[in-house]
């Protein structure tokens, strides 16, 4: 299935393809503050509809994840990184996707604070 997503103001927009089987709620220092529900997909499944430089990047700790956010409205629609095997991945904030019934998506809680 193809989903359309964006930040609040629409300056950062994208489409992503795949099936949302579950989402991850992490309690690390950044995810807890953002309140994201993350859906991990291969980076190739995420197609930007706006220029990449419409978003800004925030990195912290090991600098392995590029947390993308809109400089206009401040919303974090997705992040980019690699999985343990070196594959490029995107972590899509499903709260930023249109027409997704959040209550129907099973959520796994991840203890990111312990890492």
Give the tens place of pLDDT for each residue, 12-64: 999 999 999 999 999 999 999 999 999 999 999 999 999 999 999 999 888 88
**Sequence ranges of the domains in the chain:** 2-114
The pTM of this model reads 0.94
Per-residue pLDDT for 3 more than 90?
A: yes
pLDDT in tens, 61-109: 888 899 999 999 999 999 999 999 999 999 999 999 999 999 999 999 9
Tell me the CATH number for domain 2-114.
2.170.150.70
Who contacts 40 (Cβ-Cβ below 8 Å, separation ≥6)?
24, 83, 89, 90, 91, 92
Query: What would the two tokens of residue 100 be?
Result: 């997704």
Instruction: Print burial letters for 37-76: b (CB count within 10 Å at least 16), e (below 16).
Output: bbbbbeeeebeeeeeeebbeeeeeeeeebbbbbbeeeebb
**pLDDT at residue 8, rounded to an integer:** 98
pLDDT value of position 115: 81
């Amino acid at each position: 299935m193809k989903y359309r997503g964006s930040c609040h103001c629409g300056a950062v927009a994208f489409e992503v393809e795949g099936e949302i089987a579950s989402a991850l709620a992490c309690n690390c220092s950044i995810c807890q503050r953002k309140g994201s529900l993350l859906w991990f997909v291969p980076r190739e499944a995420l197609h930007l509809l706006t220029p990449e430089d419409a978003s800004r990047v925030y990195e912290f700790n090991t600098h392995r994840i590029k947390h993308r956010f809109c400089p206009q409205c401040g919303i974090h629609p997705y992040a980019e990184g690699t999985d343990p095997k070196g594959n490029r991945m995107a972590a899509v904030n499903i709260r930023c996707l249109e027409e997704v019934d959040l209550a129907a998506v099973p959520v796994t809680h991840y203890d990111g604070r312990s890492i």
